[in-house]
Amino acid sequence: MTVELIGAIALVVGLIGLFARPSFIVYAFFGSTLLGAAAAFILTSLGGATIQPAHLLLGFLAVKLLADRDIRIGALQAVYPGSPGFWLLVTVGYSTITAYLMPRLFQGQTLAYAVRAQGGENYLSPLGPTTSNLTQSIYFIGDCVCFLVLAGFGASEAGRKCLGRAALMCVILNLAFGLLDLVTYATNTGELLSFIRNSTYSIMSDTESAGFKRIVGSFVEASSFGYWTLGYFAFSTSLWLHGIGARLMLSLSILSFLALLFSTSTTAYVGLAGYLVVEFVIITVNFIFGRIRREMVIFMMCTPFVLVVVGIAICLHDASFAYFSELLNTFVLNKMSTSSGIERSRWNSQAIQNFIDTFGFGAGNGSVRASSFPVAVIGSLGILGATNYALFLLSIWFRKKNIVPSSVPAMQIAARSACLAWLIAATTSGGFIDLGLPFFAFAALGCLDSPRVRTQLSSTHAAVSYR
């Protein structure tokens, strides 16, 4: 195992967080989730697997926050039967069992694409236990810990507000990293960011397409940057639509939208289109029932108008039309005919075949690589695991919410909007069942326990305390 510079920095920050206010480690953790191309530790004994700074700080976050009795109670509330945390815990427990059992039970009975490419190539091999079963299980367990700990921390009004500010910080930091990426590329000083681009994965930070640089920010490639930026765009846009910090949120929304466009990521483009359609439907429903804000009216009226005007302007300018036509053909229309598109189609087909060959039980977490999140879940966890996972995801948006101060629901709605945008994008390109730490951190912000559960657990705790 080798300790990298960013790993040493993360260790120092984590140690400071143990003695500082809880908000410090929360901000540090949220910020570290942006370091998608960084490796705190490189585990040479596990084939070059890495531990990212976010997963390292997650340990410090859990130790610091769970030392507080109220946060521990909040974390218990988060796993009350029927709550999102309950379904997530069941899903993670089941996926851990499948990661060990299924590759052995169905060993050699089906072929699967390697989760971790060797030499830059993905290949079919007989199903069997691999280190990916271990690493993917650890990542998924980390997601669950992240959700439950932050849900416990957010059980109080102060905790919810802190989580909201930390989420907003991610939006700003993501744009800052995108700007740094462009500046260092233009000035040929990309090595300045090498300490956060030290992962063992292939880092494509210097690629150009259609004549300009593809923005990668602090991530491995443009598609990753576009994917996460989509959620941050949805978060800031939702806050603006609900009248929270209107000028700041509108500025962050526009900047995130531009960053999305210049990422030239097919995932981002498709996810953006899907998210905007859903947002329009929600606003239309609010309009019909008379629950609409001025910002929502502006969004409904101005967005189509701006898109039409921009489209006409591009069509009337020959050079611009040729330029954007090339972009459209390269990243959208002809994407599936490229070698990358063909390869991803094969991944999905084989993942579905894995589901069939294992009689609907799945090949186990870490055994299947796909190019669509639902396909990855079905191929890995089978019917039972996919059902539990679906119940968790549905409970994020469709459940009874607490009545809390007016500024907090807007943050929670925005967090759920970010999760929705990420889920839409993952449906088109997600390779594994792990949706990433930011998804579960924002999901924790977006979910609240019902008053009934809070009262029951608080009463039980009080009864125990005063005996």
DSSP labels for 388-399? HHHHHHHHHHSS
pTM value surpassing 0.85: yes
Cα 143 from Cα 148, distance rounded (Å): 9
Element containing residue 236 per DSSP (H, E): helix 222-241
Residue type, 455: T
Query: Phi, psi at residue 43, to the nearest 5°?
Result: -90, 90
DSSP letter string, 12-58: HHHHHHHHS-HHHHHHHHHHHTT-TT--SEEEGGGTSEEE-HHHHHH
Q: How far is CA 229 from CA 30, 163, 248, 255, in A?
A: 14, 18, 17, 10
* Residue 213 falls inside a structural domain: yes
* Residue 61 falls inside a structural domain: no
pLDDT tens digits, one per residue of 325-348: 766 666 555 555 666 667 778 888
Give 40's DSSP letter.
S
pLDDT tens digits, one per residue of 368-418: 988 899 999 999 999 999 999 999 999 998 876 554 445 558 899 999 999
* Residue 367 falls inside a structural domain: yes
pLDDT at position 460 is 41
Give me the domain span that covers residue 80. Answer: 67-465
pLDDT at position 299 is 83
* Residue 2 falls inside a structural domain: no
Bridge partner list, 224: none
Residues of the chain falling short of pLDDT 70: 46-47, 116-122, 209-211, 314, 317-321, 323-324, 326-341, 400-408, 448-467
Burial class (CB in 10 A: 0-12, 13-18, 19+), 353: middle
Q: How far is CA 388 from CA 85, 88, 368, 383, in A?
A: 11, 7, 18, 9
Q: Which two tokens stand for residue 106?
A: 């169905």
The count of residues in the chain is: 467
What's the number of domains the chain is made of?
A: 1
SS3 175: helix
* Residue 13 falls inside a structural domain: no
Q: Are 206 and 185 in contact (CB under 8 A)?
A: yes
* Residue 336 falls inside a structural domain: yes
* Residue 417 falls inside a structural domain: yes
Cα 27 from Cα 165, distance rounded (Å): 8
Cα 197 from Cα 193, distance rounded (Å): 6
Q: Which two tokens stand for residue 234?
A: 């949805």
Choose among 105, 121, 102: nearest CA to 113. 121
* Residue 244 falls inside a structural domain: yes
SS3 292: coil
Choose among 18, 17, 27: nearest CA to 441. 27
Element containing residue 183 per DSSP (H, E): helix 157-186
